[in-house]
Amino acid sequence: MNSHLSARIPFKPMLLASALSLLLAACGGGGGGAGFSFFPPAGSTPPAVQPPATQPEAQPEASLFVSQARFTPNAGTTEGSSDASTALALPGDFMLVADDESNVLRVYPRAGGAAVKEWSYELEGPKLTKELDLEAGTRIGDTLYFTGSNSNKKDGADAAADRSHLFAVKVSGTGADTAFSYVGQFALLEAQLIAWDKTNAHGLGADHFGFAVSAGAGIVPERVDGFSIEGMTSSPGDTALWLGFRAPQTGNTVRAKALIVPVQNYAALIAGTATQATFGAPIELELGGRGIRSIDKGTDGNYLIVAGPAGAARSAPSPAQRPGGP
């Protein structure tokens, strides 16, 4: 017999018995040994019919995700970059903004307006002629570090030669007087991350994170088993660069945890005095089934993480769908 079906059979007599008990109670039977009747005794007064209780109107649930406030941008804030992927504060109410669709760093007033300074790392510095897909940056002292996504293209085509670059520039001044001085780059980040995982250099088992498959040709990056770096910051004490992964997410049975991999000798890699990256112990975080889309260290030493789905964004879940229920 089908096990699923047999598990349901014991409920049938219980349901029948329950229905019968309710029927007996409604008809006045079931007690005193006198049997039961489906009709009230002759001459009895039928009970008064009570009007149904008035039910309060259902109130719509207040939105827990969508703000009702309206945002009006300052004049000129739509000028220049429209694909900002990371931003770093500069003195005097300016900020540096990087773009994941063009190889340019731009300086903007924080209050809004057009860029007052541009620095092309296609024409200067690392001179990357193809789109880096710059997704993350951080500042340590006067040095800015940036990395590409290290991912495949959206259709799964390999783009390691274009996107697997970590580079650094020193910055001075601010506003229109901001100056950039190129430090160096490292272009084997993706390949060495794959080798680190494949050879069990982390001690968790060969191919524990599945980097080789995730970064393979034909794999779309924006899924839980894809490969894409979208966050970067420095560790406490600035002893390592932390790479935050949008994908892959990790887990033994379900890929639900977010992943951070420390790069311990980042300064030597950028300077060219080391050619092999030294990776620290990986960090796995419970972020409600989300990957890392941005991570920043505050001046107080605490970290702010923007988390999101590895794949395309979806509408907000209902209370019943959220972890832990309503």
Greatest mean pLDDT range, 128-132, 151-155, 322-326:
128-132
Is the per-residue pLDDT at 246 higher than 90? Answer: yes
The closest alpha carbon to 261, from 295, 310, 288, belongs to 295
Mean pLDDT of the region 270-277: 97
Q: Write out the two tokens for 277.
A: 């990256």
Chain centroid to CA 190: how far?
A: 20
Chain centroid to CA 306: how far?
A: 7
The predicted structure's pLDDT at residue 20: 33
The predicted structure's pLDDT at residue 35: 40
DSSP secondary structure string, 245-307? EEEEEE-SSS--EEEEEEETTHHHHHHTS-SS--B---EEEESSS-EEEEEEE-TTS-EEEEE
Kindly indicate the confidence band of residue 22, based on its pLDDT and cuts at 50, 70 and 90: very low
Cα–Cα distance between 319 and 79 in angstroms, integer?
A: 39
The predicted structure's pLDDT at residue 131: 82
pLDDT in tens, 185-227: 999 999 999 999 999 999 999 999 999 999 888 888 888 988 9
The predicted structure's pLDDT at residue 320: 44
- Conformational region of residue 158, where left means phi above 0, alpha means psi within -120 to 50, and beta covers everything else: beta
> From residue 185, how far is each of 75, 163, 191, 274 by CA, in Å?
37, 12, 15, 11
Q: Residue-wise over 258-287: b if at least 16 C-beta within 10 A, else e?
A: bbbbbbebbbebbeeeeeebbbbebeebeb
Q: What does pTM read for this prediction?
A: 0.72
The predicted structure's pLDDT at residue 239: 97
Is the per-residue pLDDT at 61 higher than 80? Answer: no
Q: Whose structure tokens read 């009230």? A: 40
Is the per-residue pLDDT at 165 higher than 50? Answer: yes
Is the per-residue pLDDT at 294 higher than 90? Answer: yes
Is the per-residue pLDDT at 104 higher than 50? Answer: yes
In words, the CATH class of domain 84-315 is: mainly beta
The closest alpha carbon to 262, from 248, 282, 245, belongs to 282
Is the per-residue pLDDT at 59 higher than 60? Answer: no
Mean of all residue pLDDT scores within the chain: 78
Three-state DSSP state, 18: helix
Q: Whose structure tokens read 């300086």? A: 107
Mean pLDDT of the region 8-31: 36
Domain ranges of the chain: 84-315
Mean pLDDT of the region 261-265: 98
